[in-house]
Structure 1
Amino acid sequence: MQADLIEDVLCGPAQMFGGSRLGDEELIQLACEEFKGQSFCIVRNWMMLDLLLSDTQEREVRKQGLQPTVLFINHAVFDNEARVQTGDGFITGYQKDFHGCFFESEDALYILAGRGARKHVSLPAFQALSAYANVGITA
């Protein structure tokens, strides 16, 4: 059952999104200049996951000034605070803001490079993906 949920998240239909078209080195240089003093990470092969939560769970998330959306990242390009290694994948915390190719969670700004996707995901599917990806994010 969990394998089916994960497969649907990773391989099922999704809305395609485009991030920055700049190359990695150019993005790193620009981000280091523009976001000096701010925690940021440049990512590729990403997917925004809009979590389908119960009304109570969604109210709790929104009460914190956040949206019930997380970013599933397959490839970290650069993290200015070295929290993740280049090439690592992970899931962010809930969305604080989203504008163009910038996704901000509670803890960092993520610069979305290249193509990505966005889709709605059930809580059981998200939990299965989190367990599979071995990350500690839970809704």
Structure 2
Amino acid sequence: MQADLIEDVLYGPAQMLGGSQLEDGELIQMAREEFEGRPFCIVRNWMLLDLLLAEAQEREVRKQGLQPTVLFINHAVFDSDTLVPTGDGLITGYQKDFHGCFFESKDKLYILAGRGARKHVSVPAISALHENLSRPVR
């Protein structure tokens, strides 16, 4: 059952989205200049996951000024404060803001590079994915 949930998240139908088309080096330089002193992470192969929460849970998330959306990062290219290991597999905390190729959680700005996707997922599906990744949520 858990494998089916993860498979659906990773390989099921999703809306395709585009991130920045700049090369990694250009993105790192731009982010260092534009977001000086602010933690950021450049990511590729990403997916925005809109969580299907119970009404009370969604209200709680929104009370904190957040949206019930998380970012699944399949490959972190660069992290300015090296808290996110480069490589694969991590889920962020809830969305604070999202514009174009910038996804912001409570703690960090993520710069979305290349192609990505967006889809709705259930709480059991995101839990199964998170357990399989065995990395903390940020």
Could you say whether these structures have the same fold, taking a TM-score greater than 0.5 normalized by the shorter chain as the test? yes
Query: In structure 1, what is the Cα distance between the partners aligned to 2:51 and 2:136?
Result: 16
- Counterpart residue number, 2:64: 64
- Counterpart residue number, 1:107: 107
- Counterpart residue number, 2:83: 83
Which residue identity lines up with residue 108 of structure 1 in the other structure? K
- Counterpart residue number, 1:125: 125
Query: In structure 2, what is the Cα distance between the partners aligned to 1:88 and 1:16?
Result: 20
SS class of match (2:132): helix
Residues 1-43 of structure 1, C-alpha deviations (whole Å, 9 max, x = no match): 0000000000000000000000001111111111101010000
Query: In structure 1, what is the Cα distance between the partners aligned to 2:122 and 2:103?
Result: 21
Q: CA deviation at 1:87?
A: 1.6
Query: In structure 2, what is the Cα distance between the partners aligned to 1:132 and 1:119?
Result: 19
- Counterpart residue number, 2:136: 136
Q: CA deviation at 1:84?
A: 1.7
Query: In structure 1, what is the Cα distance between the partners aligned to 2:120 and 2:82?
Result: 30
TM-score (norm 2): 0.97
The share of aligned pairs that are identical, in percent, is 76
- RMSD value over aligned CA atoms? 1.2
Query: In structure 2, what is the Cα distance between the partners aligned to 1:115 and 1:63?
Result: 31
- Counterpart residue number, 1:41: 41
Query: In structure 1, what is the Cα distance between the partners aligned to 2:97 and 2:27?
Result: 20
How many residues end up aligned between the 2 structures? 138
Which residue identity lines up with residue 113 of structure 2 in the other structure? A
Return structure 1 stretches of 4+ with deviation > 4 angstroms.
none
Which residue identity lines up with residue 103 of structure 1 in the other structure? F
Which residue identity lines up with residue 19 of structure 1 in the other structure? G
- Counterpart residue number, 1:24: 24
Query: In structure 2, what is the Cα distance between the partners aligned to 1:87 and 1:24?
Result: 14
SS class of match (1:21): coil
- Counterpart residue number, 2:51: 51
TM-score (norm 1): 0.96
Q: CA deviation at 1:101?
A: 0.2
Query: In structure 2, what is the Cα distance between the partners aligned to 1:5 and 1:85?
Result: 25
